[in-house]
Amino acid sequence: MIVAALLLAHAAADPALVARGERIFAQSCSVGYCHGVAGAAGRGPRLRGRSFASNYLYSAIRDGIPSSAMPAWKDRLKTEDIRAVVEYVNSLATATDAAPPANPMPPGIGPASLPSFNGPPPAARGRALFSDPTRENCGVCHAVGGRGVAVGPELTARSADVMARIHATESRHVLLARLQSGEQFPALLASQTADEVRLYDLTSAPPVLRTFARSQVVSMAQNPGWRHEDVSKTYSPAELEDIVAYLRWAATGP
Amino acid sequence: MRMRTGAVLCALAGMLGAQDGSTHADWPHYGGERSAWRYSALDQINRSNVGRLQAAWAFQTGKVDGGFNATPLVVDGVMYVPSSWNRVFAIDAETGKEIWHYFYQNPREIGVIYSPWTRGVAVGLGRVFFGTLDNNVVALDRATGRELWRVNVEDMHQCGCNITGAPLLVKDKVVVGVTGGDSAHRGYLTAFDVNTGRRAWRFWTIPGPGEKGHETWAGDSWKMGGGATWMTGSYDPELDLLYWGVGNAAADFYGEARKGTNLYTDNIIALDPDTGKLKWHYQEVPHDVWDFDAAFECVLLDAPVNGVPRKLLLNVNKGGYTFVIDRTNGEFVSAWPVAENINWISGVDSKGNLLGRNEPPVGKPSLVCPSIGGGRQWNHGSYSPRTGWFYTTGIEWCQEVTVTPEEPREGINFFGGVFHLKPPMHGPAGGHLDAYDPVTGKKFWSYPSKYPLLASQLSTAGDLVFSGDPEGNFFALDARTGQKLWSFPTGSGHRGSPISYSVRGRQFIATPSGWGSALAGLLPQLWPETEDFPPGSTMFVFALPVEAR
């Protein structure tokens, strides 16, 4: 078994690919509390001196490991880089020492090989503005392509009239919820059962998903007076143009 | 005018007497009381009878991944405790019988390094509050465990952040920190209305353009400069001040792109709990390039300094120095070490300035002591008003670190270098638990440990100090001598926080047992055998036999 594993690892080893994988591993994997340097034990399991099936490693890196701290790298590393990391991790199978070499850093380390956003400049600016962490932003309530919190409609496939929708002079989705206690607030209905009503409270950002016994909710009426403007006003008209460019780009696809 | 008013208030507070941070029948907050003493005034279990302590009940959470890192709370005879993956339990604290459980449904892909452990809940106003691995704050009905509200604070995949610390309840607000100090993220502290879940205020730990302190960040580095608030703060009701420790600047090791002192990273911040407005701040480590957070507990105690009674705040910095400051105004009082192997500075002067900064060079390996794991870890110390001593752990270890330039990447770790643990310069690697004068740092006794001690301390009016070790032993020391008086093997290492409480006149000692966490994962780099230490997640509760009371 051990011999077979060694042979397999040896047969697969392409020195250039392993070296590339080592560089990427050092930048993206053996950081902080994740994997240790050169596959030593860390927050993640020890990789040195262990053998793995290449297709398992590839899918674990690409898709992440469910219910674990191992993230999916498919949007963060190029396919060929994931393959290189697989080769490098396989090359560690024969390491007999628990500790890595003295100098942990391979030479020539440079910027990460993150796939860059390939939309046009206005869309790129809009993408940053959409989820600008320095202010109230669209991503607090909306998701595009998996980025942001999808409380309101997923905006990926919505190209028509996006500019008008940003200002949202009216919305058939937003209701006015009235509670037995007298409290009322603009709401999105998240779910309901015979006993329970779950509503997103849109009074302020971020929206709050509140759960009520059905008897607590007196009414949920149309809310034509609701406006989107408070949030959209934090952006200048030029910035909103960029956000529209981003949404159009997201709708038509890269 | 303002100064005079402040002086009068201070004098009034002094006349009202020292704050009592002792717990009694209940253990109502994460740190015991909100002064974070982790001290129980119960003395039924004491030095003379602790040898007869017996297991009363045990409770299994069923999720061992990530260990059992929590502090249980006890209110009116009910224990509230979270375990990994945001399972929350209400348990009859006398019998161990479950009253309700709530399993939060996290997404299958977490992919954030600060997971899957969780450290605590807040209980009050009929509710139980906690943060989740996917960055939600949740409120449950305390009686039934039914969900009342939840709010997604920020997209976890974008920020590379979530919530693992316990919230702190202050008046009608629940205050919640955030992880992400080792990610490309701008930190904050947020308060939510307990009834509606609506955000009441947010304090950004990195000032934005136009705000005071923004000039301490070069270029755009402020946007992703770390400053996590990943532990739990303290509250002084007399001064009406909320204190919170802020974590390291990011990238952790590479500081060239963020020249400046980098406020308010590695600061103790004092906020108005009603508005979130900054009252004062004290920076322990300006321009941190070692990952030496000021995020651990803020212990609020009153003690004389040079014969003058002072209202103090004690914070053990991850770099191994304890900082003592005046909690009325943030003035530096003293600093003293909890570890022997410290080479990132040569000392701290009488004004709080760091001396002999030893910044690791870019591109080539260098030895830094203590390691990124800290001269002490987050597991909390304890202050006993009976002895007047502060009990805390220290760790002797170093690391070889290589700093590398790194650009921030959304949602991804942002360390700016790599490290590997190394034995210390002097003596063997290991840990110890010590008793100190909280102001001078004078050491009264030391309890040695083969491995770093990664569980919190509990001190009691029975003059006992309880804690646990990585091999699974839960033990009691004589608070005055450090002598071990009792020990019990729980079968899995200790990474959580013991507490004491009483129900119908019977005192209990409770401790989570369950090895795991980021730091537990690093230990095999120095102690290979710890790779096989068994995980677990069990609450053990002890009491004296009924006839012995």
Domain boundaries along the sequence of chain B: 24-35+65-548
Report which residue type is found at B530. T
| Poorest-pLDDT segment among A14-28, A77-91, B51-65, B533-547 | A14-28
Yes or no: say if B273 and B171 are a contact pair by the CB < 8 Å rule.
yes
Q: Spell out the residues 6+ positions from residue A213 whose beta carbon is closer than 8 angstroms to its own.
A: A195, A196, A197
pLDDT computed for residue B18 by the predictor: 58
Place of tokens 């560089």: A23
**With 60 as the cut, is the pLDDT of residue B55 above it?**
yes
Confirm or reject contact between A40 and chain B (CB < 8 A).
yes
Spatial distance between the Cα atoms of B196 and B125, rounded to a whole number of angstroms: 13
**Confidence band, pLDDT 50/70/90 cuts, at residue B322:** very high
Distance from CA of B388 to the nearest CA of A (A): 36
B57 Cβ partners below 8 Å, 6+ apart?
B95, B96, B541
Cis status, amide bond into B455, omega within 30 of 0: no
C-alpha distance from residue A55 to each of A34, A52, A66 (Å): 21, 9, 16
Largest CA distance in chain A: 75
Looking at CA atoms only, how far is residue A162 from chain B in angstroms?
Answer: 22
Lowest mean pLDDT among A100-104, B445-449, B504-508: A100-104
Tell me the shortest Cα–Cα distance from A135 to chain B, in angstroms. Answer: 10
> Touching check for B152 and chain A: CB below 8 Å?
yes
3-state class (DSSP) for residue B79: strand
Predicted pLDDT at B180: 93
Do the Cβ atoms of B205 and B213 come closer than 8 Å?
no
Interchain proximity A112–B108, CB inside 8 Å: no
- Indicate yes or no: CB of B519 within 8 angstroms of CB of A36: no
Tokens coding B105: 């449904």
Q: Residue A207: its chain B contacts at CB < 8 A? A: 151
B158 touches chain A (CB under 8 A): yes
Q: Where would I find the H helices in B427-490? A: none
Rounded Cα distance between A165 and A158, Å, is: 10
- Low pLDDT (below 50) residues in chain A: 1-10, 107-113
Which is more confidently placed, B334 or A168?
Answer: B334
The answer to whether the CB of B355 falls within 8 A of the CB of B347 is: yes
Q: In chain B, which residues have their Cβ closer than 8 Å to the Cβ of A134? A: 186, 208, 223
Residue B199: strand pairing partners:
B192
Which pLDDT score is estimated for A97? 76
Beta bridge partners of B182: none
User: With an 8 Å Cβ cutoff, is B420 touching chain A?
Assistant: yes
- B291 labelled catalytic: yes
Selected residues 85-144 of chain A with any CB under 8 Å from a CB in chain B: 98-100, 102-105, 109, 111-112, 114, 131, 133-134, 139-140, 143
Q: Show residues of chain A in contact with B111, CB under 8 Å.
A: 64, 69-72
The one-letter code for the residue type at A131 is: S
Burial-class residue A232 by CB neighbours within 10 Å (0-12, 13-18, 19+): middle
Tell me what pLDDT residue B494 has.
98
Amino acid identity of A114?
Answer: L
Q: What span, in angstroms and rounded, lies between the C-alpha atoms of B160 and B115?
A: 11
Q: Nearest Cα to B416, choosing from B302, B277, B249?
A: B249
Which among A152, A155, A150 has a CA at the least distance from the CA of A246?
A: A155
Name the nearest CA neighbour of B191 among B200, B182, B183.
Answer: B200
Stretch (H or E) spanning A27: helix A15-28
- In this structure, are residues B179 and B163 in contact, taking their beta carbons and an 8 Å threshold? yes
Separation between Cα atoms, residue A12 and residue A4, nearest integer Å: 12
Mean per-residue pLDDT, B338-352: 98
Report the DSSP beta bridge partners of residue B268: B245, B282
Q: What is the band of B6 on the pLDDT scale with cuts at 50, 70, 90?
A: very low
Q: Which of A159-168, A234-243, B123-132, B254-263 has the lowest mean pLDDT?
A: A159-168
Which is nearest to A68 in space by CA: B533, B133, B154, B182? B133
Nearest to B525 by CA among B383, B426, B429: B429
Cis peptide before B264 (omega within 30 of 0): yes
Does position B4 have pLDDT exceeding 50, yes or no?
no
Asked if B153's CB is within 8 angstroms of A34's CB, the reply is: no
Give the mean model confidence (pLDDT) for residues B127-148: 98
Q: DSSP assignment of B353-403, as one string?
A: -EES--PPPBSS-EEESS-TT-SS-SS--EEETTTTEEEEEEEE-EEEEEE
Residue B427: HSE in the Cβ half-sphere, 13 Å Cα cutoff: 15
- Kindly indicate the confidence band of residue B8, based on its pLDDT and cuts at 50, 70 and 90: very low
B540 vs A14, more confident: B540
Its ipTM equals 0.91
Whether chain A has a CB inside 8 Å of the CB on B107: the answer is: no
The identity of residue B130, as a single letter, is F
Q: How far is B444 from chain A (nearest CA, A)?
A: 34
Under the banding of pLDDT at 50, 70 and 90, the label for residue B134 is very high
Tokens 């999916």 belong to A72
Predicted model pTM: 0.93
Residue B7 pLDDT > 60? no
The residue annotated as part of the active site, out of B266, B291, B293, B434, is B291
Write b or e for each residue in B372-408: b if 16 or more Cβ atoms lie within 10 A of its Cβ, otherwise e.
Answer: bbbbbbbbbbbbbbbbebbbbbbbbbbbbbbbbebeb
Whether the bond between A133 and the residue before it is cis, its omega within 30 degrees of 0, is no
Q: Which residues pair with B368 in a beta bridge?
A: B399
Bigger pLDDT: B296 vs A3: B296
Task: Mutate one of B108, B114, B155, B185 to test the A interface: name it (highest A CB count within 10 A).
Answer: B155
Nearest chain B Cα distance for residue A47, angstroms: 12
Test A69 with B116 for CB contact under 8 angstroms. Answer: yes
Rg (C-alpha) for chain A, rounded Å, is 25
Put simply, whether B134 touches A (Cβ < 8 Å) is no
B510 residue type, one letter: A
Give DSSP secondary structure letters for B478-540. Answer: ETTT--EEEEEE-SS---S--EEEEETTEEEEEEEE-B-SHHHHHGGGT-GGGGGPPB--EEE
Given pLDDT bands bounded at 50, 70 and 90, which one contains residue B410?
confident
Share of chain B above pLDDT 70, in %: 96
pLDDT at B290: 98
Of all residues in chain A, the one with the smallest CA distance to B190 is: A206
pLDDT at residue B47 greater than cutoff 50: yes
Q: What is the phi-psi region of residue A53: left when phi exceeds 0, alpha when psi lies from -120 to 50, beta otherwise?
A: beta
User: Contacts for A228-236 with beta carbons within 8 Å, 24 or more apart?
Assistant: A228/A166, A228/A167, A228/A168, A228/A171, A229/A167, A229/A168, A231/A136, A231/A137, A231/A138, A231/A140, A231/A141, A231/A205, A232/A166, A232/A167, A232/A168, A234/A135, A234/A136, A234/A137, A235/A129
Exposure string (b/e) for B272-300, b if CB count within 10 Å is 16 or more? ebeebebbbbbbbbbbbbbbbbbbbbbbb
Token pair in block for residue B2: 């303002």
Q: How far is CA B328 from CA B38, B170, B338, in A?
A: 22, 18, 25
pLDDT at res. A106? 54
Q: Which CATH architecture has domain B24-35+65-548?
A: 8 Propeller (2.140)
Spatial separation of the C-alpha atoms in residues B42 and B502, rounded to whole Å: 8
Q: Which of B208, B400, B531 sits opposite A41 (nearest CB)?
A: B531
Evaluate if residue B468 carries a pLDDT over 70: yes
Residue A157 dihedral angles phi and psi, to the nearest 5°: -100, 20
CA B293/CA B307 separation, integer angstroms = 31
A120 versus B53: the higher-pLDDT residue is: B53
pLDDT of residue A178: 97
Question: B203 and B269 in contact (C-beta within 8 Å)?
Answer: yes
Of all residues in chain A, what percent are helix, strand and coil, respectively (each to 5)? 40, 15, 50
Measured between beta carbons, which residues in chain A are less than 8 angstroms from residue B102? none
Residue type, B222: W
| Residue B15 scores a pLDDT above 50 | no
The string of pLDDT tens digits covering residues B209-244 is: 999 999 999 999 999 999 999 999 999 999 999 999
Which token pair is B343?
A: 């080479």
For the stretch B317-326, what's the b/e string if a residue is b when 16 or more beta carbons lie within 10 angstroms of its beta carbon? Answer: bbbbbbbbbb
Out of B111, B182, B196, the one facing A71 most closely (by C-beta) is B111
Residue type (1 letter), A140 = V
Contact (CB<8Å) A210/B153: no
Is B186–A133 a contact, with Cβ atoms under 8 angstroms apart? yes
Nearest CA in chain B to A146: B157
Render the burial of B514-542: b for 16+ CB within 10 Å, e for the rest: bbbbbbbbbbbbbbeebeebebbbbbbbb
